[in-house]
Amino acid sequence: MITILMYHHITPVEINHGVTPENFKDQIIALQNKGYNFISVSELEEKNKCRLSVKKNYIAITFDDGWLDNWAFAFPILKELNIPATLFLVTGWPSIGECRSQEELEHLNLLDHTDLMKIANSAIPDKAVMRWKEIEIMMDSGLVNIQSHSHSHGESWKNLLETKTITDDIRHSKKMLEKHLNIRVKHFCWPRGRFTPELVSKVSSLGFEQQYSTMKGAHYTDKLNQLILKRINVTNITGDELVKGLKKYHYSIFAYMITCLHKLKIMYNLNKTTKIGSILQWLRL
Ligand SMILES: [Zn+2]
């Protein structure tokens, strides 16, 4: 079984889309104690070489967007515990410059997700997101794999109407990563978890071998040969709570039902103002 976890912020303040460093570390240790094997998304490519055992449980940690708190709070924990992870980066946000000093990191203005998103989408996103130098150091550690999460993460992603704009944005993101980090980019993570069948095939034709969604679920190791992969959003819970919560995705019928309901939510844009949407919200889907 392969379970891909989705994180956004690792931060000492309790915010939406955030996990505290204490809980993040506790989650990793609890998964390790349960015998999970940590892999990066590029190791998922090994599926073709049949190197992943069908009997083992694998975990891939992914971070979306490229927030500065990932550098300040998540990376030290990954290094300490020697855990691989993947960062899906919005390439329009990082700036050029030296790494932030320890003192700067200790005095970060810890904001919630909405405020950080506003800064990231402003003319000067630097206060909310990582710099290229910091991303490079994460990558050079050998632990963090960098992949694409679009260039702008902007308005065009909300309604998905402009296929060409979106495709150009993704193509640009791939080029930026290849230019700044000199890497091959084969994985793409959909901003806001939204996509259309047309966009999926366009992205494949750009050379992306695997695409990541926010649809909930785990994957059987021998059935990973699908284009859109599911992930599980991790909230600010303890390690034991996470281990317990993951179990339900390992039962196929239940996992299948969760995936179907989540697909419905995305396809029909069911937010909590609709009746079905509010039920799905209550079910945490
Ligand atoms: Zn995102």
Q: How far apart are the CA of 113 and the centre of ligand 1, in A?
A: 11
Please, what is the Cα angle at 187 between 24 and 253, to 5 degrees?
Answer: 65
Q: How far apart are the CA of 90 and the centre of ligand 1, in A?
A: 7
DSSP the chain: -EEEEEE-EE-SS--TTEE-HHHHHHHHHHHHHTT-EE--HHHHGGGGGT-S-TTS-EEEEEEEE-BHHIIIIIHHHHHHHT--EEEEE-TTS---SPPPPHHHHHT-----HHHHHHHHTSS-GGGTB--HHHHHHHHHTTSEEEEE--S---THHHH---HHHHHHHHHHHHHHHHHHH-----EEE-GGG---HHHHHHHHHTT--EEE-S----B-GGG---SEEP-EE--S--HHHHHHHHHGGGSHHHHHHHHHHHHHHHHTT--TTSHHHHHHHHTT-
Q: Tens of pLDDT along 4-21?
A: 999 999 999 999 999 999
Q: How far apart are the CA of 41 and the centre of ligand 1, in A?
A: 17
State whether 46 and 168 are in the same domain: yes
State whether 139 and 276 are in the same domain: no
Q: How far apart are the CA of 141 and the centre of ligand 1, in A?
A: 24
Residues ≥6 apart with Cβ < 8 Å to 107: none
Distance, in Å, from the CA atom of 179 to the CA atom of 192, rounded to the nearest integer, reads 25
For residue 139, the one-letter residue type is: M
State whether 283 and 182 are in the same domain: no
Q: How far apart are the CA of 276 and the centre of ligand 1, in A?
A: 25
State whether 160 and 226 are in the same domain: yes
Residues measured by CB to lie within 5 Å of ligand 1, the ion: 64-65, 191
Q: How far apart are the CA of 120 and the centre of ligand 1, in A?
A: 11
Q: How far apart are the CA of 50 and the centre of ligand 1, in A?
A: 31
State whether 186 and 267 are in the same domain: no
Q: How far apart are the CA of 231 and the centre of ligand 1, in A?
A: 13
Q: How far apart are the CA of 14 and the centre of ligand 1, in A?
A: 19
Contact (CB, 8 A) for 98 and 183: no
- What percent of the chain clears pLDDT 90, i.e. is strictly above it? 66
Which ranges of the chain have pLDDT less than 70? 46-51, 155-156, 159-161, 223-225, 251-273, 277, 279-285
Q: What does the pLDDT read at residue 217? A: 87
Q: How far apart are the CA of 62 and the centre of ligand 1, in A?
A: 11
Query: Two tokens at 206?
Result: 């750009």
- The total domain count for the chain is 2
State whether 118 and 168 are in the same domain: yes
Provide the residue range defining the domain that includes 7.
2-249
Q: What does the pLDDT read at residue 251? A: 66
Distance, in Å, from the CA atom of 110 to the CA atom of 12, rounded to the nearest integer, reads 8
State whether 82 and 172 are in the same domain: yes
Q: How far apart are the CA of 191 and the centre of ligand 1, in A?
A: 5
State whether 63 and 182 are in the same domain: yes
State whether 50 and 157 are in the same domain: yes
Query: Two tokens at 122?
Result: 């402003």
State whether 188 and 266 are in the same domain: no
Q: How far apart are the CA of 66 and the centre of ligand 1, in A?
A: 9
Query: Two tokens at 218?
Result: 């785990």
CATH classification at residue 42:
3.20.20.370
Q: How far apart are the CA of 152 and the centre of ligand 1, in A?
A: 10
Q: What does the pLDDT read at residue 187? A: 95
94 closest CA partner among 8, 180, 26: 180
Q: What is the CA radius of gyration of the chain?
A: 18
State whether 200 and 105 are in the same domain: yes
Distance, in Å, from the CA atom of 15 to the CA atom of 184, rounded to the nearest integer, reads 33
Q: How far apart are the CA of 19 and the centre of ligand 1, in A?
A: 16
Backbone angles phi, psi at 225, to 5 degrees: -75, 55
Predicted TM-score (pTM) of the model is: 0.87
Q: Tens of pLDDT along 139-151?
A: 999 999 999 999 9
Q: How far apart are the CA of 251 and the centre of ligand 1, in A?
A: 28
State whether 231 and 263 are in the same domain: no
Q: How far apart are the CA of 3 and the centre of ligand 1, in A?
A: 19
